[in-house]
Structures are given as C-alpha cells and as structure tokens.
Homo-oligomer: A and B are copies of this chain.
Amino acid sequence: MTINEIAKLAGVSRATISRYLNDGYVSQDKRDKIKQIIEETGYTPSSYAQTLRSKKTNYIGVIIPKIDSDSIGRMVSGITSVLSKKNYQILLASTNNNASEELKYLRLFKENHVDGIILLGTIFTKEHIKTLASYQVPIVILGQNVKGYSCIYSDDYHAALSLGRKLSKTSTNPAMITVTSEDVAVGLNRRKGFIDAFKENGKTIHKKNIKEVAFSFDAAYEACKELISNDKTIDAIMCATDTIAAGAIKYLRETKLKVPEDIEVTGFGDSKLSLVSYPSITTVHFFYEDAGIKAASLVLDKINKKEKTSPNLGIQLEYNLVERESTKKLD
C-alpha cells in the first residue's frame, strides 16, 4: 500500500492524500472519501520515505552500559514513559560495559539520523568527547556530569558525604568497597564524599581498607572477605552500590559477624535489593525514574527549539538518606 494506490482508489492525486495526512488542506467530501479508503486498506505511510524528505526520524537513540540493573532499568523506564507519549521511538543500544561499543553506537545513531541521543554513560574518555563534539543532534548525558554538555546527574558527592557523616559518628576503623575512579559519579565522587566526611571528624579511611571491584555481587563478596581477613577490627563498610553492599553482607552473615552490631554497612541507590536484604541496607535514594523523565524531556526540548546555541544546562537531582537496619540507630 502506497500513497499512489490510495490516491487512485480515492480518485484524487497523491498530493491531496499527502495534504490530508499533513496540512489538512482538503475539501470535506474528498476528506471523507480518503478517510474511508485509508481505513479500509489499513494504509500507513512509509516512515522511511517521510524521513527521506523531511529529515525527521522521530527516533531517539539511547545508549546504556547494561540493561539488567535496577538503577538503569528505572532510568530507562522514565525515558520510555515520556518518549512514547510524544510518539518518539527508542533505539536502544547496550554496550555491556564496553566503552568502545559506545563509540560504535554513537556512529550507528548518526547513520540512522536519530533526532536526539541520551547517553547513560559510565566512563568518559577523550575519544568520547571528540566523537560527541562532532555531533549536530541534541545530546543529553544521564548519570554523569560532563562539562559542556547537558547533563542530568545525581549529587553523588554530597550523598556520600551525608552517609559518611552518619557512619563517622560510630565507626573508628572504616572500610570501603568501591569501583574504578574512572567512573566519576560512582567511583570518584562517592569515594571523595566518604573520605571527606571522616576527615571532618578527624578520622581517616586507611588506603589498605579501600577495595576496588567490578559492579557485581560476587566481586563484592570476595572483596569483603579480603578486607575482613586482613583486618578484624573493621567496624564499617561503605559500598559504592547496593549490589556491592548486598554482596558484602552475604559474606558477613556467613562469618557470623553481626550487622550492624559488629560491622555497619551502607549501600547506594535504594534498589529493591537494599530493602529486601537482611538486614535491610541503609542507602541513598536517587530519583532515577525522575532522572529518566527529565532527560527525555530535555532532549525533546532541545529538538524542538533547535537553536544549536541552546544552553547546555546541568540538572542536579535531589537525594534522600534512607536509614535502614544495616547501620546503628543514633538515639
């Protein structure tokens, strides 16, 4: 079914059909006739031909490091809710934590002429910046604060700071299980927050008590084992994510160490895990779904007023401290 066949059936020119579909500048009787024909045939215009002419795809490219993650799932959920309402399609690309894949998809999106891109990244190399700079389509970065770009990010530093302040009141020999500092948001900023919080109270986190692991439950379990084996006096473990905290707690439970009586543990992200875990995990709530919503809205805004000069604003999201059972209550 093409516009030509519809035109023939309706006894008008294809230009009229096109007008019916777009401007609407068509007489009532032709309009009725066309409507009927279209309904009968179930005709839908070819979006590819439309794109070829109008340069508008209604695609938004979304790049994520992996899909089976609580926080990412919630962000994508926010993105889809906004975009589907506005009749945009999502082109999803998952890199499986492989930074070079990110660049590949960035290029692929270029070929597909997406109207906009949402990049949910972890590590930003110079090459990233270079590739991004060569783009003309609106880009929003989610979860990291990269200067020169529109970003939606959470206040990881202060969130970690407030978590750290709480622990610093009770802990004298704290430890930390974190991720690579190349991940500025999760690795670097949270780490800094923890360290500074203890510094405020004149306490320090020993270098040897800081373990760097992958984003995984099992890796955290092993890291916790190493920490405890090396130093039995550790009385608090700050973890860069809830998953890591859950892995640590699993090990502690197995060795009969009591949480929080013997060791306090904190997570990050307020995932379902942190609620279900026993003891439930003290953590920080980030409004991930809201972040996804904001990112999608922002990218649509940029598309619509397509001034390339539209300011690249950064939006920092709120956070809430969520106190649960894995830390000691202070009167």
Contacts and interface: CB of A to CB of B under 8 A. Distances in A.
Interface of A: 42, 44-49, 51-52, 57, 62, 66-70, 73-74, 76-77, 80-81, 84, 89-94, 96, 101, 107-108, 110-113, 134, 217, 243, 246, 249-250, 253, 272-273, 275-279
B70 A68 contact: yes
A209 B69 CA distance: 34
Nearest to A45: B111
Contact of A80 (B69, B77, B94): B94
A73 B68 contact: yes
A92 B277 CA distance: 31
5 contacts: A45-B111, A67-B67, A73-B73, A90-B91, A246-B276
A134 B42 CA distance: 11
A278 B278 contact: yes
Contacts of A253: 278
Copies of this chain held together in the complex: 2
A272 B217 contact: yes
A40 B101 CA distance: 22
Given A44-B107, A68-B74, A276-B276, 16 more contacts: A44-B110, A45-B111, A47-B111, A48-B52, A48-B113, A52-B52, A68-B76, A80-B96, A81-B96, A89-B93, A91-B91, A243-B272, A250-B276, A253-B278, A277-B277, A278-B279
A84 to B, nearest CB: 7
A46 B113 contact: yes
Contacts of A217: 272, 275-276
A246 B277 CA distance: 9
Contacts of A48: 48-49, 51-52, 57, 113
Contacts of A108: 89
A295 B277 CA distance: 33
A277 B70 CA distance: 16
Contacts of A57: 48
A65 to B, nearest CB: 11
Contacts of A89: 91, 93, 108, 112
A92 B112 contact: no
